[in-house]
Chains A and B, each alone.
Chain A
Amino acid sequence: MFGYVRANKSQLRVCEYEAYKGVYCSLCRTQGRLYGPLTRFMLSYDIAFLAMLHLSVQGGCGGFEDKSCVFNPLKKCKYCKAGEQALSYAASVAMLLSYYKLRDNIDDSRRLRRLGCKLLHPYYNRKRKKAARLYPEAAKIAEEYYENQRRIEQTPGAGLDAAAEPTAKALQGYFALCAGAGESRPLARMGYCIGKWIYLLDAGADLEKDIRSGAFNPLKAGLQGQDIQSYLQRTLVPNLNVCVTECAAAFELADCKDFRPIIENVIYLGLKQTQTTILSKNKEKTE
């Protein structure tokens, strides 16, 4: 996960921002407890969003309490008083996705980096097995994601929809699991749209790099010598916009209770903000 799914901080109320940070800190603490302190760097705002969604639909956060930061004892953080189920679920998803990212690096990278990844593999694999024991369905989703992604990358002519499908389906599964016993279809649709959005945005951000390195990128096929920026505006941005609007439509049918204003901020403001920032960073690099 790339930290693309985040709130527009300047439009959060102070209490909402504190709660948002609180979820992140609680996740950090749980990740360390479950998988060891070295795995904390696997966290991102995307995973925090997943935890928040789970807590929003199934409840259980129980409010926040002040304690010292697990990383820097001189700092005070807010931690959820309860909600371990949501936090350990999100932490485990982070672990599983990181493991398959490592496998990806082993498959694709050159010598030195590949060697480094291979050395890490036994450690990651142990953690992955633990996550799989705790959340077998989540483990299956991650494995299918990895296999489908590799398969589609062997198809250079794959369209945007086909290329984004593995990521979309993975997040569809992860968001649906947040529903518990309740109606999962709106959450599944939200996950599908956000997954697709993440994949396409990343493809847009990496287009130039992938052209130079020869890596797979579904946007390459339609480029045909045009100016990259205007090509992305015409081809990529409308698709990103549909993902966001569809996600919002699904969200309005989901049963989100706690943290609702923060989730609204992410969907209605945060996603668009990230989109603009990432794609204009691209623009600056070329100018």
Chain B
Amino acid sequence: MKDPYSILGVSRNATDEEIKNAYREMARKYHPDNYADNPLADLAGERMKEINEAYDQIMNSRRHKNAGGNAYSGTGNANSNFPDVRNLVMQGRLEEAQEILDGVPPERRDAEWYFLNGSVLYKRGWFDAAYTSMSNACRMDPSNPEYRAAFAQLQRQRDGGFAYRGQNGVYGGGCNTCDVCQSLICADCCCECMGGDLIPCC
């Protein structure tokens, strides 16, 4: 396995707190929920596994309590009307899944049909049609948590939310001119209290 410290992007001298923060950042980025209906979910899963193993290895070797990884439970298969479609979708065989779905007569298209149809469309990149299908699924079965979660994720993306903003400070924090001015004025006041004067004109 690659060096666990380089996987998390921390130095060997990092504190436990720094390692935990780095792990949280990466887990937030590659969490399975961000790739729920994504055809690249398996790659994200591999990264997540790598990150979890790296974190465990570091923490174990530092003899701390093992925080463990995030357990991800897959979508419910127990009482499905379309177990063959669900299997095909999990294997990434999208065309075959779509064919089976398209073959279902309109009167048999229940909430689960619309949900699976939406999932397949989303994986294929047909985001608009996926949204229509998913919203039908939720309308027909409002209490189903699986459909609601998928629909909520899609809604978040339609509103422009990124799962992860880049590491560059400009995307999240950083400071603007107001912060700079504020800080300077504060510094000037403190300076004057001590008998000096940082900014003569203030």
Known: A238-B158, A241-B158, A268-B165. 18 other contacts (CB 8 A): A160-B128, A161-B126, A161-B128, A185-B40, A186-B43, A189-B38, A189-B39, A189-B125, A193-B125, A238-B131, A241-B159, A245-B157, A248-B162, A248-B163, A250-B40, A265-B168, A269-B170, A272-B160
Q: Is the CB of B40 within 8 A of A186?
A: yes
A242 at the interface (CB under 8 A from B): yes
Contact partner, A268, options B29, B125, B166, Cβ 8 Å:
B166
Interface centre among A159, A242, A244, A272 (most CB of B within 10 A): A242
Q: Is the CB of A269 within 8 A of B127?
A: no
How many residues of chain A have a CB within 8 Å of chain B? 31
CB-CB nearest in chain A for B42: A185
Expressed in whole angstroms, the Cα–Cα distance for A65 and B62 within the complex equals: 47
Produce 1/0 per residue, B122-165, CB < 8 A to A.
Answer: 00011111010000000000000000000000100111111111
Q: Is the CB of B170 within 8 A of A241?
A: no
Q: Is the CB of B43 within 8 A of A241?
A: no
The residues of B that contact A183 with a CB separation of less than 8 Å are 43
- Closest beta carbon of chain B to A182's beta carbon, Å: 12
CB-CB nearest in chain A for B170: A11
A168 at the interface (CB under 8 A from B): yes
Which positions in B face A, CB cutoff 8 Å?
Answer: 29-30, 34-35, 38-40, 43-44, 47, 121, 125-129, 131, 154, 157-166, 168, 170-171
A239 at the interface (CB under 8 A from B): yes
Q: Is the CB of B166 within 8 A of A264?
A: yes
Q: Is the CB of B29 within 8 A of A252?
A: yes
Expressed in whole angstroms, the Cα–Cα distance for A239 and B157 within the complex equals: 9
A37 at the interface (CB under 8 A from B): no
The residues of A that contact B158 with a CB separation of less than 8 Å are 238-239, 241-242
Q: Is the CB of B160 within 8 A of A196?
A: no
CB-CB nearest in chain A for B123: A189
Could you pull out 26 A-B pairs where Cβ atoms are within 8 angstroms? A11-B170, A159-B128, A161-B127, A186-B43, A189-B39, A189-B40, A196-B127, A238-B158, A239-B128, A239-B158, A241-B159, A241-B160, A242-B131, A242-B157, A246-B38, A248-B162, A249-B38, A250-B40, A252-B30, A253-B43, A253-B47, A265-B168, A268-B162, A268-B166, A268-B171, A269-B170
Q: Is the CB of A244 within 8 A of B163?
A: no
Produce 1/0 per residue, A255-287, CB < 8 A to B.
Answer: 000000100110011001000000000000000
- Closest beta carbon of chain A to B175's beta carbon, Å: 14
- Closest beta carbon of chain A to B195's beta carbon, Å: 40
Which positions in A face B, CB cutoff 8 Å?
Answer: 11, 159-161, 168, 183, 185-186, 189, 192-193, 196, 238-239, 241-246, 248-250, 252-253, 261, 264-265, 268-269, 272
The residues of B that contact A11 with a CB separation of less than 8 Å are 170
CB-CB nearest in chain B for A267: B166
Expressed in whole angstroms, the Cα–Cα distance for A246 and B30 within the complex equals: 13
Expressed in whole angstroms, the Cα–Cα distance for A242 and B162 within the complex equals: 9
Contact partner, A252, options B39, B129, B159, B164, Cβ 8 Å:
B164
Contact partner, B43, options A161, A185, A192, A193, Cβ 8 Å:
A185
The residues of A that contact B38 with a CB separation of less than 8 Å are 189, 246, 249-250
Given contacts A193-B125, A252-B30, A253-B47, whether A246 and B39 have CB atoms under 8 Å apart is no
The residues of B that contact A168 with a CB separation of less than 8 Å are 125
CB-CB nearest in chain A for B47: A253
Expressed in whole angstroms, the Cα–Cα distance for A241 and B34 within the complex equals: 15
Interface centre among B127, B158, B164, B165 (most CB of A within 10 A): B127
- Closest beta carbon of chain A to B102's beta carbon, Å: 15
Q: Is the CB of B128 within 8 A of A246?
A: no
Expressed in whole angstroms, the Cα–Cα distance for A242 and B44 within the complex equals: 18
Interface centre among B30, B44, B128, B154 (most CB of A within 10 A): B128
